[in-house]
Copies of this chain bind each other. A is one copy, B any other.
Amino acid sequence: MTRSEAQVREGIERARRARPRLRDEHITMAHGAGGKASATLVDALFRPAFANPVLDRLTDAAVLPGGLALTTDAYVVKPLRFPGGSIGTLAVHGTVNDLAVSGARPLGLSAAFVLEEGLAVETLRAEVEAAARAAEDAGVAIVTGDTKVVERGKADGMYVVTSGIGRVELSGLDPAGLRPGDRVLCSGYVGDHGTAIMLARGDLDLEADVASDTRSLWPFASALGAAAGDGLRVMRDATRGGVATVLNELAMASDVGVVVHESAVPVRPVVHGACELLGLDPLYVANEGVLVAVVAPEVADAALAALGDLPGGEHAAVIGEVAAEPPGMVLVRTGIGGHRILDLLIGDPLPRIC
């Protein structure tokens, strides 16, 4: 996996030439995977049609004049329940987290359910109650909702879509605001959620004790804001496409390079092992409770300490830094001193993960 400097530069040029253009005539699973195909679909189809200054910022939540944040996420996770969580908890945390990483305190959530005819009412009840508990834990109420029913076979039990509004408390966050020397922080173990789903599906003939990390990230976001102040450049929720996708989006938005120290990335041994077996890189695996933050170098220690003091932040780490070169790209410095390019994901190794 280690390449020479020349090979890396050639790869960079190749990747540049391959920037988004929608050639597909039909939707594939990859368009929902959060990687290159998803980005192309958004850039080539949604952005031109919905063009407006708020959408164009393409942050996790849209921030409207007056400091109101709005976000939405559809949840189609399979199976509905898995170690550490379920579609109901995920649907609350995911939307709370999109607000949180936008610096917005959640004010209220909506929940829309598309139910499959024949779904057991007890299964629905379990998810409604799971969502209610998750919302209560996150300190936010589900204030409105909708329910639709489709015929047998036309959904997998249920799909859930939540939206959230929040009040921006941490301003000045900007995905285009990264500067060389900035540090990249990660709030905890990487890859737990995707691995837990994979194991719950039985795709892997492996018994391992991995639970989803699904949790509200607002406590992390709020603590980082207090600890890093103006030195907090941006925060992201490393869901579909994982930490690698987040860092690629930030590198492109800021036109800077990001260098990740592979040995500094916190990964549980069992997650590492499962990913090896599947030929996956944990940096691409979805998380539901991992916050990635970029901070100015002078506040990095304080920011790391703030994360480490919170439940779930015990394994927070500085995993890399921002560099001037190569602009728009993410490199991983491997344990043996080489580099490899961490590009946007192509294809969909783990469909229906959230």
A contact set with B: CB distance below 8 Å:
22, 24-33, 38, 41-42, 45-46, 49-50, 52, 54-55, 61-62, 64, 68, 70-76, 107-108, 110-122, 124-125, 128-129, 131-132, 135, 141-151, 153-156, 159, 161, 163, 165, 351-352
Contact of A156 among B118, B144, B154 (CB under 8 A): B154
Which residues of the other chain, B, contact A64 by a CB distance below 8 angstroms? 107-108, 143, 165
Q: Which 10 A-B pairs have the closest CB atoms?
A: A32-B149, A163-B163, A72-B110, A62-B143, A161-B161, A62-B144, A74-B112, A52-B141, A54-B143, A49-B132
Provide the main secondary structure of the chain A interface: mixed
Check A141–B73 contact: CB distance below 8 A.
no
CB-based nearest B residue for A42: B147
Complex CA–CA separation, A289 to B55 (angstroms) = 27
* Copies per complex of this chain: 2
Complex CA–CA separation, A239 to B114 (angstroms) = 17
Check B28–A149 contact: CB distance below 8 A.
yes
Check B114–A144 contact: CB distance below 8 A.
no
Contact of A144 among B27, B71, B150 (CB under 8 A): B71
CB-based nearest B residue for A159: B114
Check B128–A46 contact: CB distance below 8 A.
yes
Check B27–A149 contact: CB distance below 8 A.
yes
Check A156–B147 contact: CB distance below 8 A.
no
Min CB distance A23 to B, Å, is 9
